[in-house]
């Protein structure tokens, strides 16, 4: 099959991967009680899953460059379905966690759509199309925990995994029918990929785009690690109220994705990254200044987070397109490496935020971490601009 997949198929693939990450989060306390283990043990189903996802992105990218996008996606979905059955049949926490880690194979459905877009489009046009793909999938993390909580209350925690399995089947059928191969020439042999890796690794543009994406998304991951603490201890919000405010970055991110889809082709991906990084940095800097001056209000904090989401929605599709434009024949590898670094960096910043937030600290440590991460993203794209201007001058 050589017919390119429809945009809806790429959105569905990314969406089911995002869904598996967080739909069952409201069930964790009940699962810990049912399996008779501490909450920290069940929390491994999130942290260990993220770690496995980072590793699998490193492996999945090169495999999709070699064997094609279609077989990697179909194999990932089939493995995910088998692992999901295992989670439903698990009778102990240990068995559940093993199958939960195996579910991480669905991560390939996050990186492959980005590589497919790069197979089909060049440069700024790829960034525009990635904006549409990520805009569609951004709704899932916003709605999934809400739906997961309702399912848990009505039918128990197993209902979340049953829904994962059902949606996995539907997406597998959709991908089987529509996911045409987009890698040309039968894929790039792994030996030739190894020869090209140093070229990718030595590229200042690749690392500039990669750092811009990693540090921009790192601010969001730090928020995930610290926002529940800030919502409860600083603002005195109930868990339900925190859940409502949690939609703030997703709303901003959807708008940023729309702007990327609409304007990247006209303005260029470098400008879109720069504008997005500036928006992130200014929003978080103003929130930090407000916090230091004693203006501690949920609307100020979460309003800045929504604006940060807007900036991230402009940075990430364009930075991902930039990474994959350095060596188009290694689009899958670049997508996987960039995704793995973003996840690993985000996990580290999330852990740092959790460690620094202590009773009495307020929101200041979290905002400082996020502000520093946004500043790093801005410096990274400025570095890309500087290198490209030097190349233009040299020629």
What pLDDT sits at residue 211? 92
Domains of the chain: 1-180 (1.20.1250.20), 196-395 (1.20.1250.20)
pLDDT confidence bin for 198, thresholds 50/70/90: confident
CB 312 within 8 A of CB 220: yes
Structure confidence by residue, pLDDT tens digits, 28-41: 778 888 888 886 77
Measured between alpha carbons, how far is 103 from 54 in angstroms, rounded to an integer? 13
Structure tokens at 386: 């500087």
Residues 140-173: tens digit of each pLDDT: 766 777 778 778 888 888 998 999 999 999 999 9
Distance CA 370, CA 62 (A): 32
> Six-digit token pair at 282?
């200014």
3-state secondary structure of 374: helix
Q: What is the mean pLDDT of residues 344-357?
A: 75
Alpha-carbon distance 259 to 254, whole Å?
A: 9
The tokens describing 185, both together, are 């020439």
Q: What is the pTM of this model?
A: 0.74
Predicted confidence band of residue 87 (pLDDT cuts 50, 70, 90)? very high
Is 311:280 a contact under the CB 8 Å cutoff?
A: yes
* Segment 259-286, tens digit of pLDDT: 988 888 888 889 999 999 999 999 999 9
The band of 66, judged by pLDDT with boundaries at 50, 70 and 90, is confident
Which letter does DSSP use for residue 233 in this model? I
Name the H helices within the chain.
Answer: 7-22, 28-35, 39-67, 69-89, 93-102, 108-120, 123-155, 158-178, 190-201, 204-229, 239-245, 247-267, 269-292, 298-326, 331-356, 364-394
Distance from C-alpha of 114 to C-alpha of 328, rounded to nearest angstrom: 12
CA angle 50, 123, 379 (to 5 degrees): 60
Q: What are residue 62's phi and psi, to 5 degrees?
A: -60, -35
Higher pLDDT, 143 or 363: 363
Paired tokens of 209: 């785009």
Is 90 in contact with 34 (CB distance < 8 Å)?
A: no
| Least-confidence region, from 66-75, 136-145, 152-161, 185-194 | 185-194
As a whole number, mean pLDDT of residues 361-385 equals: 90
How large a percentage of the chain has pLDDT more than 90? 27
Angle of helix 69-89 versus helix 39-67 axis, rounded to 10: 160
Is-contact 321 126, C-beta < 8 A? yes
φ, ψ of residue 24 in degrees (nearest 5):
-95, 5
User: What is the rounded CA–CA span in Å between residue 100 and residue 139?
Assistant: 23
Is the model more confident about 56 or about 311? 311
Amino acid 394: pLDDT: 63
Cβ(77)–Cβ(109) below 8 Å: yes
d(CA 18, CA 58): 18
pLDDT at 214 exceeding the cut of 80: yes
User: In this predicted structure, what is the pLDDT of residue 88?
Assistant: 94
Q: Per-residue pLDDT averaged across 174-178, rounded?
A: 93
């Amino acid at each position: 099959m050589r017919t390119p997949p429809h945009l809806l198929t790429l959105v569905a693939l990314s969406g089911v991967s995002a869904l598996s990450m967080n739909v069952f989060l409201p069930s964790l306390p009940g699962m810990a009680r049912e399996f008779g283990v501490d909450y920290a043990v069940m929390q491994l189903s999130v942290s260990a899953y993220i770690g496995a996802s980072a590793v699998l992105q490193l492996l999945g990218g090169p495999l999709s460059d070699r064997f094609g996008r279609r077989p990697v996606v179909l194999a990932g979905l089939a493995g995910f379905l088998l692992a999901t059955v295992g989670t439903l049949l698990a009778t102990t926490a240990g068995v559940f966690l093993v199958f939960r880690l195996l579910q991480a194979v669905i991560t390939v459905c996050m990186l492959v759509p980005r590589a497919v877009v790069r197979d089909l489009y060049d440069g700024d046009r790829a960034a525009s199309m990635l904006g549409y793909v990520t805009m569609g999938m951004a709704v899932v993390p916003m709605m999934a925990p809400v739906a997961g909580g309702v399912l848990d209350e009505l039918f128990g925690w197993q209902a979340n995994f049953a829904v994962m399995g059902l949606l996995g089947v539907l997406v597998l059928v959709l991908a089987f029918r529509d996911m045409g191969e987009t890698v040309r020439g039968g894929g790039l042999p792994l030996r030739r990929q190894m020869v090209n890796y140093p070229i990718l690794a030595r590229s200042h543009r690749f690392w500039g785009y990669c750092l811009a994406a990693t540090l921009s998304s790192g601010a969001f991951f730090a928020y995930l690690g610290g926002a529940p603490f800030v919502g409860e201890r600083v603002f005195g919000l109930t868990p339900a109220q925190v859940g409502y405010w949690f939609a703030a970055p997703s709303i901003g991110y959807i708008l940023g994705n729309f702007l990327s889809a609409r304007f990247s082709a006209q303005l260029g991906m470098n400008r879109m990254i720069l504008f997005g990084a500036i928006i992130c940095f200014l929003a978080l800097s103003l929130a930090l200044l407000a916090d230091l001056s004693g203006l501690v209000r949920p609307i100020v904090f979460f309003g800045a987070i929504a604006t940060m989401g807007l900036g991230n929605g402009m940075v990430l599709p364009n930075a991902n397109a930039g990474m994959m434009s350095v060596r188009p024949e290694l689009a899958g590898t670049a997508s996987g490496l960039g995704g793995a670094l973003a996840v690993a960096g985000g996990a580290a910043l999330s852990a740092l935020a959790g460690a620094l937030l202590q009773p009495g600290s307020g929101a200041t440590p979290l905002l400082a971490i996020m502000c520093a991460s946004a500043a790093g993203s801005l410096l990274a794209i400025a570095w890309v601009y500087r290198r490209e201007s030097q190349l233009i001058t040299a020629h």
